[in-house]
């Protein structure tokens, strides 16, 4: 009997791991973790067809495989390139990758306004983090930028098309989580825009998840807009009995008030269990939820900083330390 193994050895920035055949470079990097993980603005592990659009995840393959060690001539999208046995990949250790990433960020920011001071996504925006790490100090773009009017899509969601980077995540979310597909990308090239067909509202039960998957502030929660900067809120794991979804969420609190509710995200900013609109938009009383305790935000972003993880016991005076 011939022996088969699906363990493929890949080395990324000098760190090696064995993964199953078919694993992409990005997912192999995520298994290693830390600095070897390329940024991803359009790939979303739970959405079929996502990836391959934004080019932020480009990496250099310096050795193709054990059988064919030639380097790949061009940088490749790590979210859609499967690993080969013996492959060697450079992410942050490649100047070509860092230069390309800087170029990609510059392109993404051609039309994206730098309105972080008034954007609800500030502090948890993937593009803000990317621009902080790889962006230029000023723009070289001299032409007129695209601008759009803000659009209400349904009772709970506002679309700022001006901020959209056309990653398609919301389109896949609407397509794969809900029964009806009512929005998509219309037109082509620099005229492309997210649009609901003849402004139909997106009001099915799980559509609120488009807010969570959007890497920028293009889709915002109308029940939370302009209420607070996210870093002033306290994220708490919370759950409730819900007939439509798992009921497991994060309640972002200001004092005893629930300012917003989102799904729980992992360290890559991806939702693992999508939640329904009722949990997200309609359950804002503390009594609606069982508050479990402070949420650990495992992300290198403003939102991950300075969170108290130990619950302060009730009735403990705050200033009683000697």
Binding-site ranges for ligand SF4 (CB under 6 A): 164-170, 194, 213-216, 218-219
DSSP 18-30: EEETT-BHHHHHH
Residue number closest to ligand FES, CB atom: 79
Residues 6+ apart with CB under 8 A from 78: 24, 25, 26, 29, 38, 57, 58, 59, 89, 91
Task: Identify which of residues 107 and 231 has a Cβ nearer to ligand FES in the complex.
Answer: 107
| Residue 269 is a binding residue for ligand FES (CB under 6 A) | no
Pick between residue 147 and residue 320 the one whose CB is nearest to ligand SF4: 147
From CA 6, how far away is CA 8, in angstroms rounded? Answer: 6
Contacting residue, 9, 15, 18, 55, with ligand FES by CB under 6 A: 55
Binding partner selected for residue 127 from ligand SF4, ligand FES, none, CB under the kind-specific 5 to 8 Å limit? none
DSSP assignment of 104-147, as one string? HHHHHHHHS---GGG-TTTTS-HHHHHHHHH--SS----SPPP-
Q: How far apart are CA 1 and CA 258, in angstroms?
A: 61
* 10/164 with CB nearer ligand SF4: 164
Q: Which is nearer to ligand FES, 168 or 281 (CB)?
A: 168
| Residue 78 beta carbon to ligand FES: minimum distance, rounded to whole angstroms | 6
Binder of residue 125, out of ligand SF4, ligand FES, none (CB less than 5 to 8 A by kind): none
User: Interface with ligand FES includes 213 (CB under 6 A)?
Assistant: no
- As measured in angstroms, the least distance from the Cβ of 121 to ligand SF4 is 10
Q: Record the tokens describing residue 247, joined without a space.
A: 């009921």
Q: Which is nearer to ligand FES, 270 or 278 (CB)?
A: 270
Which C-beta is closer to ligand SF4: that of 83 or that of 170? 170
Measured CA to CA, the distance from residue 211 to residue 215 in angstroms comes to 9
The listed partner (ligand SF4, ligand FES, none) that binds 166, CB under 5 to 8 Å by sort, is ligand SF4
Closest distance of CB 90 from ligand FES, Å: 16
Least CB distance from residue 57 to ligand FES, whole Å? 3
- Exposed, middle or buried: residue 249 (CB in 10 Å: 0-12, 13-18, 19+)? buried
Position 79 contacts ligand FES (CB under 6 A): yes
Among 54, 59, 161, 271, binds ligand FES (CB under 6 A): 54
Which tokens belong to 9? 């050895």
Residue 83 contacts ligand FES per CB under 6 A: no
Indicate whether 216 belongs to the interface with ligand FES (CB under 6 A): no
Residue (61 or 131) nearer to ligand SF4, CB: 131
81 contacts ligand FES (rule: CB under 6 A)? no
Please identify, using beta-carbon distances, which residue of 43 and 224 lies nearer to ligand FES.
43
Give me the half-sphere count of Cα atoms (radius 13 Å) on the Cβ side of residue 245. 24
Half-sphere exposure for 202 (CA within 13 Å, toward CB) = 32
- 234-245 in b/e burial notation, b at 16+ Cβ within 10 A? ebbbbbbeeeeb
CB 60 within 8 A of CB 11: no
Q: Give the pairing of strands 290-294 and 234-239.
A: antiparallel
């Amino acid at each position: 009997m011939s022996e088969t193994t699906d363990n493929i050895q890949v080395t990324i920035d000098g760190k090696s791991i064995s993964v199953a055949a078919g694993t992409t470079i990005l997912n192999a990097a995520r298994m290693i973790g830390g600095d070897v993980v390329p940024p991803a603005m359009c790939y979303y592990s739970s959405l079929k067809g996502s990836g391959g659009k934004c080019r932020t995840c480009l990496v250099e393959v310096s050795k193709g495989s054990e059988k064919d060690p030639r380097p790949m001539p061009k940088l490749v999208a790590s979210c859609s390139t499967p690993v080969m046995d013996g492959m060697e990949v450079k992410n942050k250790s490649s100047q070509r990758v860092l230069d390309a990433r800087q170029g990609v960020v510059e392109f993404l920011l051609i039309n994206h306004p730098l309105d972080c001071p008034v954007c609800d996504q500030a502090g948890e925006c993937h593009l803000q983090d990317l621009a902080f790490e790889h962006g230029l100090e000023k723009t070289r773009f001299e032409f007129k930028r695209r601008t759009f009017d803000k659009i209400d899509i349904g009772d709970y969601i506002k679309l700022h098309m001006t901020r959209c980077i056309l990653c398609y995540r919301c389109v896949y979310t609407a397509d794969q989580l809900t029964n009806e597909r009512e929005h998509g990308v219309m037109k082509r090239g620099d005229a492309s825009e997210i649009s609901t067909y003849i402004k139909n509202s997106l009001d099915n039960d799980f559509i609120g998840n488009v807010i969570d998957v959007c890497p920028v502030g293009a889709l915002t929660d109308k029940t939370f807009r302009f209420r607070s900067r996210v870093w002033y809120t306290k994220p708490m794991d919370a759950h409730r009995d819900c007939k439509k979804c798992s009921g497991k969420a994060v309640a972002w609190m200001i004092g005893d008030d629930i300012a917003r509710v989102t799904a729980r995200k992992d360290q890559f900013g991806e939702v693992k269990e999508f939640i329904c609109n009722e949990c997200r938009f309609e359950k804002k009383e503390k009594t609606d939820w069982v508050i479990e305790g402070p949420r650990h935000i495992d992300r290198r972003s403003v939102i991950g900083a300075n969170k108290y993880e130990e619950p302060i016991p009730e009735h403990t005076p705050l200033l009683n330390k000697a």
